Structure 1
Amino acid sequence: MRVHVVSDVHGNSRDLATAGDGADALVCLGDLILYLDYADHSRGIFPDLFGVENTDHLVQLRTEGRFAEAREFSARLWDGIDRAAATEAAVRAQYAELFAAFPTPTYATYGNVDMPPLWPEYAEEGTTVLDGGTAEIGGLRFGFVGGGLRTPMRTPYEIDEETYAEKVAALGSVDVLCSHIPPAVPELCYDTVARRFERGSEALLEAVHAVRPRYHLFGHVHQPLVRRMRVGRTECVNVGHFNATGVPWVLEW
């Protein structure tokens, strides 16, 4: 059995269209939307609306950890614009292209920058969306937990720790634990380019110790200090960053 796994697609529909080639199934761990590309400030919803110069400044503020200033700067740019309508229109255009690129079968969950209410409109037959649910793939039980935890970035699908933990607990025993964010292990949460710790989940780490899945697969941290490490008997693997690599991670058994 061969499964290809991607995360942090961020608009890379070209490579997504071939990500399942040679695999029995594709697993996608979220962040389909490209709102702002930190490597190329000309790409994404924000620069499309406000230009590269404003994007440069926003990225600088965020990189320096000046999140309140970044929110104030962004709010000034949005003043007079129907933010919800403009964002939804741009997201819909991206989702139409990205979901059309999914092969059959695809098993997907949300990232922290995704907009879950829109997914049912674009997930065609052959794409199974799971969040706090499981699926059997090739005789193994895969559990999926979507979204992220609260951060100063205030991305669209951030939830509180209790709600997130409830979704993790609902999975029960799984062979492969799949989430967008990593477990709360410092080496797996630190981004070496952004030079900050992203939020990991204590509930995921507790599940790794208690359930002892064969694998815990995730993304979210684009340039991790450590991409792969063993926690107990579980192999924890950051499968991203697909937007930059265009190459899926391969799981075979």
Structure 2
Amino acid sequence: MKHIKRIVMVLIWLIIWQIASMMTGLELLLASPVAVLRTLIEMLVSKAFYMTLSHSLLNIGSGLLAGIIIGVAVGIGSGRFNTFAQFVEIPLQLMKSLPVAAFIILLLMWFGSRNVSRIISAMVVIPMVTAGVTDGIRNADTGLVNMAKVYNMSRLNRFRYIYMTGVYPYLETQLKIALGMCFKAGISAEIIGLVSDTIGTSMYYAKMYLLSAELFAWSIVVIAVSFIIEKLILKLLGLIYKALQGNL
């Protein structure tokens, strides 16, 4: 029943979109759903589409992976050592507070357009992953930690059965937010930096030449890819957690 309601809601919004497109009477400004679908199909059978998609996925994906690794490492350090947490607090706060566009412009000045989407994707992810890991470690059951020390449980087993149990729900929650923001920031960096052969640059040129159907088609691709990547990473995180718990 829930899925039927969702499908009905999607159909209603598609009808509203179609009516709005017909009322404007200008496909250049607001392409109809049919025109967008036609453009999307044309893109999917084009070799250039997959080249563009792969370049963006490589750039944003590598930044995402680096951000997760760095965030986990910084989060462990912050959760275990208060002095380290205070040391990294200022840069983490800057990453969270400054507008993404400001960071993109600075990165373009310092590093050029080639690596800007990688760096900005990592910078969006690092503070959130760090917060999730830090909160998980600090909220671990102290009674279990003390008991593990009394019975001389190894550090590895303490990590697997106590800290990981505390970290997992916090990290999962933060990753759900970070993954979507990562893709939006990465595409924004490609648009502003005009990174060659990427989704962001394709969207920029579609806007410049008033190709609204192509712009909407690329937007659908970004949403779909972001959704798939989010599900895959969260599934992988769940499998890693189960493996560490010995439940696979």
Question: Common fold, TM-score beyond 0.5?
Answer: no
**Greater share of helix:** 2
Question: Whose relative contact order is higher, 1 or 2, with alpha carbons under 8 Å and at least 6 apart?
Answer: 2
Provide the TM-score with structure 2 as the length reference: 0.25
User: Could you say which structure has the higher strand fraction?
Assistant: 1
Higher alpha-carbon Rg: 2
Give the TM-score normalised by the residue count of structure 1.
0.25
